[in-house]
Structure 1
């Protein structure tokens, strides 16, 4: 395989027409140039130059190698430039998978900061709920996943995955404005045992069942939807009540619902996940850092 350093020296000899002129341009001694060209000829398996007076003339093989050397060195320069762009965050693409309420809150905050500071970094956004979103990460379909879990339903994280805590999101009960308990500041979950419920995604539904069981009852689930707007609209029309995370009300709140704190207090935990081997990829690391900032700002609201 040809040595790029020897190819650069070869190109300079071709341009200047002599070993001594190439040595002056490159800051080498003439014997060093001669040594490199002899090594290149051994690698090529043939003579590359003939001497005509004081100048070096390319042989037919030398002419062929000269054309290839230009292409090789240009490609190497392009490769170095592209790698430098990735390492200095002038370029890069990160695939992010997030659940809907994070997509509407944390993600826009983080992406706005990235666009302002590193416009060459591109983030592709996909939406999915856990645990499907974590499966997509493990199977290589995304680079970073935003997902949530509940304290009573914690699952083991695969060994190859890094879990980064972002925030704790308080759960609330969502009631129609005319509900008998809507005037209270807090509502005991046990008082809602006879209500009709609207359940969310699979993980949220599992948590609802778990928390109600802790209070000694099984909720009567009338509807199931993971669309936050649909949930609130159903509640507003008196078709049921729901347990929803506080993050949702940062971007969506129906005017005919009452949102109240639950007793006992309940919350979900929001994490960023990435593969261990991706921690040192600059664009991926940048996205995770900006998601941390976005989460800290939301926590402080």
Structure 2
């Protein structure tokens, strides 16, 4: 009889690649992970790992069992969802991972809106940029992830999550107040090719969107400042350290008295935001409640903003 808890250890090894990384994800010691894997090999009667010095890799049999382990995990998620649906008790804890703007603009309003109708539901929130929220979701650290679409995929792990578009928003140009284009009603991106730039760090999906938009406009931006905090980005722009592209919703709560915000001409780059849950958990009533709340709080697709004209 195969112990499903040991299958979870095998999945962690397949996902993370090393015993040490799997142990960190499971909050176990490396020796405990090795013991669980050895016991699993005894249970199935096959070698699951090839040991090469200090490293290990899955055998063909181990890879097959790891795929089954993912399917079993999905079925267990469905079983929990069905049990919760039968009991119909809207009480419990849901943990959401999201990037900072989504926390401010979507997650927090959703929590406030849900409180009167579901006072026994507690929503915990973790700030996670880039693909970190998806890693937390796959590792079982959170129940829902709010993330930005990225050209990179999760590979084989992609099948373990269910994505749903949440909202899309354009990027606006943020310019120093004395910039020659600050008085224009809209800015061609190509006209900013000679300016110094301020962007998020590489690895942040917004960084990739900005670079790709500049490349499509025919230039490589000269990045001089890096920050994942859009308040810091706008403060640097106001200090004449460079220009930036910022997603529109990120500008809502920022004091822009010393910077000019202008839409881009033509088709602006877009930040596409989605929700993700582990496949099989989508029918859990608590998941449905939180996902419905996030959809209701998401900005409309055609959201607009009063831009400064100083």
**Shorter-normalised TM range:** 0.5 to 0.7
Deviations 1:52-109 (A, max 9, x none): xxxxxxxxxxxxxxxxxxxxxxxxxxxxxx96996231x1100100101111111111
Instruction: Report how far residue 267 of structure 1 moved.
Output: 1.1
Contact 1:137–1:144 (Cα < 8 Å) also in 2: yes
Contact 1:86–1:282 (Cα < 8 Å) also in 2: no
Separation of aligned partners in 2, 1:117 and 1:132: 31
Separation of aligned partners in 2, 1:186 and 1:197: 18
Q: 1:83 to 1:161 in 2, by over 3 A?
A: closer
2:229 aligned to 222, 227, 230, which one? 227
Q: 1:243 to 1:300 in 2, by over 3 A?
A: closer
TM-score w.r.t. structure 1 length? 0.67
Q: Does 1:277 align with 2:287?
A: no
1:255 aligned to 254, 257, 262, which one? 257
Separation of aligned partners in 2, 1:278 and 1:83: 10
Match in the other structure for 1:27: none
Contact 2:199–2:227 (Cα < 8 Å) also in 1: yes
2:239 aligned to 216, 219, 237, which one? 237
Structure 1 alignment gaps of length 5 or more: 1-81
Determine which structure has more spread, i.e. the larger CA radius of gyration: 1
TM-score w.r.t. structure 2 length? 0.66
How many pairs does the alignment contain?
A: 217
Match in the other structure for 1:127: 127
Match in the other structure for 1:172: 172
Instruction: Report how far residue 297 of structure 1 moved.
Output: 5.4
Q: 1:229 to 1:92 in 2, by over 3 A?
A: same
Q: 1:296 to 1:177 in 2, by over 3 A?
A: closer
Match runs of 1:187-226 below 5 Å? 187-201=187-201, 202-226=204-228
Contact 2:110–2:297 (Cα < 8 Å) also in 1: yes
Q: Does 1:246 align with 2:248?
A: yes
Q: 1:93 to 1:300 in 2, by over 3 A?
A: same
Instruction: Report how far residue 126 of structure 1 moved.
Output: 0.3
Match in the other structure for 2:78: none
Instruction: Report how far residue 263 of structure 1 moved.
Output: 2.6
Which portions of structure 1, spanning 4 or more consecutive aligned residues, are displaced by more than 3 angstroms? 82-86, 153-157, 296-301
Separation of aligned partners in 2, 1:263 and 1:173: 10
Separation of aligned partners in 1, 2:207 and 2:274: 19
Match in the other structure for 2:29: none
Instruction: Report how far residue 298 of structure 1 moved.
Output: 7.5
Structure 2 alignment gaps of length 5 or more: 1-82, 305-310
Match runs of 1:24-173 below 5 Å? 87-89=88-90, 91-149=91-149, 153=151, 155=153, 158-173=158-173
CA RMSD of aligned residues (A): 2.2
Match in the other structure for 1:52: none
Q: 1:128 to 1:262 in 2, by over 3 A?
A: same
